[in-house]
Structure 1
Amino acid sequence: MDLEEAFQVVGEFGPYQQRAVAVLVLTQVYMACQSMLIVLIGSTPKYRIEQLDGVGSSQRELVTFTEDTDSIVTEWFLIKHQAYKVSLAGSLFFAGLLVGNIVFGPLSDRIGRRPVYLTGLFFEVIFGYVTAFAPSYEVFAVSRLLVGLMNGGIGLVCFVLTQEYVGKSYWAMTGTLTSMTFAVGIALFGALGYFIQPWRNLAMASNSSGVLFLLLSVTLPESPRWLYSKGQTQRAEEVLRYMALRNGNPANNLVLKRVCAAKAGNRDGRGAGVLQLVIHPVLRLRTMVLMYVWYACSLVYYGLTLGASEMSGSRYMNVAMYGLVELPAYPLCIYFINKHWAGRRKSMASFLCLAGSACLCTTFIPENAGALLNVTSLALLGKLMVSAAFNIAYVYTSELYPTVIRNAGLGVCSMSCRVGGILAPFVPSMRALHTSMPFTVFCLSGLSAGCLGLLLPETLNGPTTDTLEELGSPIHSRVLESKAHLYEDDKLKSNHK
């Protein structure tokens, strides 16, 4: 039997897979806290500067903060000519994410999902404590780079594991749960920051949850899909039988089809790597389009989120709202991406265009507008739409790449995504040029990515590919897509009868 038939015997989403996926999904709360940490601990309170005695270059200034706020800004006086260091620390985190995607994605395709995930999570917890106890800004900045490095690696592998532990029919749900929990993590971080305001205490509290998730993750098995794609059929059968036993489904006779080394992606790693994303005719176009889509999603998503503290009102409430506003996006995703008239492609493109349109509308709203329709409400609407598009991009991308190269494909797309993340902390500061400049950037990014996304093929009800040989040529891919549409039409006709 093939893998999908095996999951029918094991249970596509049985009790054991539910517990395993729950651990991986809840880890997103920890990752969200690390991603948003700079928003609160890097907040700049109001201050005044008094000129003291002196002439010329010897003149001294006395800085007095008028708000009772404890942050890296107040501790290391990151104001005026030093203010860029706050955005720099945020960008270093996203630079780490970029490198982590480059390194950990292909590495997990080569040596396995589980060892890469556990190692990355362990070191992220260690470097997170270095952030909390940093004696200087320089140590703090380096620790944020290293935390981002680990965060980028485990975030990618964590998402892939939630997909590969379950049957294909549950991929959309597990992918959506991952993104939804990340949004809940942002909201919880806003609440945590309200109750724990000294920045070192907040950094320590945010990092401590990682210890719990590390201990829970130790018992997770290797991905049976990865084992099978690498030709380790016997180990894949052992993992599947273990899952079946824990699900209460006897599967002693579970035997997978043997695949040759060539179809297993060449056990030594040749024939299935980042280079295939460039030389393979089908993957080349997909990768170019997906890289820009992920870049735009990240730029708009993190640009709006990191700018939350600059909006009027309580910074803690704003952070929580920018997390909670994502939650309605995920039921919308689950509904639209499983409908034959919408699917993955049209849904992602539509949400991106709507996010860009919402950001465009903010440029026509005066800052003193009413409480219902103002810049903040439109920015929240844009965040909701881009969150939906970002979630679909994760699910959609994992379906567009074969198992043997899935992590490499996701890694390259995530690398492009992190470029957007690196630029995102600096986009809100473009208000100095014009108040509408940040939203103009977000608008153009969303609209252009939405239009490009229409070039991708639809994957709804399409066949699962495990190897590059199954992916075939561009003509073969179009045939598979046509078969998927015919299958859906037949299904509708039978339901109508």
Structure 2
Amino acid sequence: MEAESPLEQSLQTVGMFGRAQFIIILVGVIVQIYIGWPSIVSVFVAIDVDFQCVNDTLDDANITKFDNECVNGCEYYVYRSTPSSMVSDFDLACGNGPTLVSTANSAFWAGFMLSCLFMGTLADMFGRRTVSLFTCFIYCIASSLLPFIQNIYEFIAMRFVCGMFHYPLTCVVFILVAEWVDKEKFGKIGMSTAVVFGLGEALAALMGYLLRDSWRIQLGAMTCFLVLVLILIFFFLPESAKWLYQTGHIHECEKVMRKVSRINGTNFHGMIHSETNSDHRPITNGSQHDSSADEMSNIFVSRSEPSSPVSYHYDASEKLIPTLDPQVIKASTTIEEKEKPNVKALFGTRSSCFLMLTNLFTFFSSCMVYFGLAFGVSSISGNIYFNSALLALVELPAWFVVLSMDYVGRKPTLLFCLLVCSIACTCIPITNQYVPSLSIVIAMVGKLLATGAFDLLFVYIPEQSPTVLRTTGLSICSGAARIGTIIGPYVIQAGSISDYIPYGFFALCGYISFVLCVFFQVETLNRGMPQTIEQYYLLVQNKRRLRIEEPTSDDDCDRDI
């Protein structure tokens, strides 16, 4: 019989899927819709515009046709008046212009990647809501300056700054929402909030079309949406009760839970009592209790791990020790000697190191293919706004594709998405050459499965990571993903040489990710999120379902981890 921590029992009393959770999830959905907009806004504010070289032999007033040819030594270029684009405003059609446009796309994700290195840690230190509010406020200021820039270099710099403060909306808010939802419903809800990212991309295409006469107004409208997001976070997203409890803020945790309880209409009279140390953190050391059952319960739910995985003061340790190899014991002891675990703990054993490297590369390849297909929409024949909306909306069925993760498991679903997406990328250049009309269909299939893999990872990674490093784990994986997003525009630009170069590279990375996941990925279906570093090592070491035997007052019983 599985013992629950005081926090888990209190959360069940408060309600883990009531009206308050509905509001929290709704805010998470709106945030996800927004973050899709700035992710691809450069496609529309830097849309290609017809141009013509003008020199002494040609008067720009007499131009009726545009040949779109770059000429060495051209005096200057004249652009068609519509659609409005910074390509025409900043004269980016030729020379280094195309590379600067690609850099503008990449700069946003370079800032995002830099943010991943420390924003997740800040969220684990100071709270999910605090970091989200502060960074979103700075983001609003930076975004409001975008419509007033006067050259491409200012645009690149400001997009970099915006990317830095875009991260908390993508990952930290997602973790905050996840920690307020019942674990059994987290998979579907997490996928629901992630899949609507495509609605944000479709919104970007719609606003790009409606506001095509002014790319600056497009950026202004995007900022207005961001202000709405800031307001929603401030008024409707409470701090994570799990984070407050694990970091010792017991009184604040109880206060937040009372508010949620009132909204849910439940009777919450206060936290179930448990002993705390001088820092007001829940005690997990078995020496503080005489009951071995209480000791084991605290060990598996608290933020502070026992001093050693072999130092339990009861007979169950004899049954627990064989499940840990010496490497795990050594890593656990080293980490637990420190007051606060850091990112090194995620790589503490050989198995956990291989798992994290697999997650990093899989996130990298999935994100590169995802945004590579989005940024490459201009190379597909047809209306760019319609094609962009089509590629965005095709992400919505990804929710149905990954529903199987709750039936066949996370790992098989991820493997299916990676394999089929890689096959689609292999076929795109072939269909471009022999059946051009089929290319958009193949691209849609690739985008659909890339979305499935990308969104599934946002559910998968938090389920693997321990509570004290959950945001940090997702952050560094998201940072690896941004490397893929940064190089994606340049890889697509190589398509001017041959379509086989970008899509062949996408396919190769997908196949490598598939093989890595086959050997090193772990299954998390029907397994609780690890609370401690030790539980994380147990999860990684035992890729199949792990059972730890624990004695009761009468006889032994099994506990699933």
- Aligned pairs for 1:360-439 (under 5 A) are 360-367=426-433, 369=435, 371=437, 374-439=438-503
The alpha carbon displacement at 1:242 in A equals 2.1
CA distance 1:214–1:186, shift in 2 (3 Å): same
Range moving further from structure 2, 150-159 or 96-105: 150-159
The reply on whether 1:460 has 2:525 as its aligned counterpart is yes
1:253 Cα deviation from its structure 2 partner? 4.9
> Which of 399, 404, 410 is matched with 1:344 structurally?
410
* Alpha-carbon distance between aligned partners in 2 of 1:50 and 1:265, rounded to the nearest angstrom: 71
The reply to whether residue 68 of structure 1 matches residue 74 of structure 2 is: no
Structure 1 residue corresponding to 2:269, chosen from 252, 264, 267: 252
Per-residue deviation, 1:206 = 1.4
Distance 1:114 1:73, change over 3 A: same
1:30-60: CA deviation from partner (whole Å, max 9, x where unpaired):
2111111101111121222133269xx9965
Question: Structure 2 residue aligned with 1:318, among 375, 387, 394?
Answer: 387
The one-letter code sitting in structure 1 at the alignment partner of 2:409 is G
Q: 1:370 to 1:138 in 2, by over 3 A?
A: closer
Where does structure 2 lack aligned partners over 5 or more consecutive residues?
59-70, 276-281, 286-301, 306-335, 549-561
Query: Which of 197, 216, 224 matches 1:200?
Result: 216
Structure 1 distance, partners of 2:544, 2:428, is: 43
Inter-CA distance 252–190: structure 2 relative to 1 (3 Å threshold):
same
How many angstroms does 1:367 deviate by? 4.0
Amino acid of the structure 2 residue aligned with 1:116: V
Pairwise mapping of residues 174-193 of structure 1 onto structure 2 (< 5 A)?
174-193=189-208
Query: Which residue of structure 2 aligns with residue 332 of structure 1?
Result: 401
1:52 and 1:60 in contact (8 A); partners too: no
- Compute the displacement of 1:441 (Å): 1.2
- Which of these residues, 41, 54, 62, is aligned with residue 45 of structure 2? 41
Give yes or no for contact 2:9–2:272 (8 Å, CA) kept in 1. Answer: no
Task: State the Cα distance separating 1:181 from its structure 2 match.
Answer: 1.8
Match of 2:241 in 1: 224
- Alignment partners' CA distance in 1, 2:199 and 2:466: 31
Post-superposition CA distance 1:105-159 (Å, at most 9, x none): 1110111111110111111111111111112222211110001000123311011
Match of 1:16 in 2: 20
Q: CA deviation at 1:97?
A: 0.7
Q: Is the Cα contact below 8 Å between 1:352 and 1:450 reproduced in 2?
A: yes
Question: In structure 2, do the counterparts of structure 1 residues 299 and 257 end up closer, same or farther at CA, with 3 Å as the change threshold?
Answer: farther
Q: Which moved more, 1:342-351 or 1:21-30?
A: 21-30
Residue type of the alignment partner of 2:192: L
Q: Give the counterpart of 1:440 among 464, 479, 504.
A: 504
Query: Structure 1 counterpart of 2:405, which letter?
Result: I
**1: CA distance between counterparts of 2:119 and 2:37?**
21
Q: Following TM superposition, by how much is the alpha carbon of 1:174 offset from its aligned partner in structure 2, in angstroms?
A: 2.4
Amino acid at match of 1:264: R
Cα distance change on mapping 1:418 and 1:327 into 2, 3 Å: same
Q: Distance in 2 between matches of 1:239 and 1:359?
A: 47
Q: Using the TM superposition, give the Cα deviation of residue 66 of structure 1 relative to its aligned residue in structure 2, in angstroms.
A: 3.8
Q: Residue 105 of structure 2 aligns with which residue? A: 90
Q: Pick from 258, 272, 294 the counterpart of residue 241 of structure 1.
A: 258
- The letter for the 1-side match of 2:261 is A
1:80 is paired with a residue whose SS is: coil
Deviation at 1:474, TM superposition (A): 6.5
1:264 equivalent in structure 2: 303
Alpha-carbon distance, 1:291 to partner? 0.3
Residue 211 in 1 paired to residue 227 in 2? yes
Aligned length: 476
Distance in 1 between the 2:42 and 2:138 partners?
A: 19
Whole-Å separation in 1 of the counterparts to 2:170 and 2:537: 29
Larger radius of gyration: 2
Q: What are the equivalent positions in structure 2 for 1:130-209 lying under 5 Å apart?
A: 130-197=145-212, 198-209=214-225
The C-alpha deviation readout for 1:240-284, integer Å capped at 9, x for no partner, is: 232122100111154165533784248998342112123245532
- Map of 1:283 onto structure 2: 352
Partner of 2:342: helix, strand, or coil?
A: coil
Kindly indicate whether the alpha-carbon contact (under 8 Å) linking 1:47 and 1:67 is maintained by their aligned counterparts in 2.
no
Structure 1 unpaired stretches of 5+: 484-497
Equivalent-residue separation in structure 2 for 1:80 and 1:482 (angstroms): 63
Distance across 1 between alignment mates of 2:127 and 2:531: 15
Alpha carbons 2:419, 2:511 under 8 Å: kept: yes
Secondary structure, counterpart of 1:83 in structure 2? helix
Please identify which structure carries the higher helix content.
1
- Contact 1:34/1:207 (CA < 8 Å) preserved in 2? no
The whole-number CA distance in structure 1 between the counterparts of 2:439 and 2:273 is 56
Instruction: Please give the per-residue CA displacement for 1:187-234, whole angstroms capped at 9, x wherever unaligned.
Output: 111111110011101111112111111112112211011112213333
Evaluate the alpha carbon distance shift between residue 475 and residue 218 of structure 1 in structure 2; reply closer, same or farther with a 3 A threshold: closer
Conservation of the 8 A alpha-carbon contact between 1:359 and 1:443 = yes
Q: Is the 8 A contact 1:113 1:223 kept in 2?
A: yes
2:293 matched to which residue of 1? none
Q: Check conservation: 2:254, 2:270, Cα contact below 8 A.
A: no
1:122 alignment partner in structure 2:
137
* Cα distance between partner residues in 2 of 1:105 and 1:269: 19
Change (3 A) 1:138 1:364: closer
Whole-Å Cα distance in 1 between the matches of residues 363 and 536 of structure 2?
Answer: 22
TM-aligned CA distance change 1:143 to 1:261, over 3 Å: farther
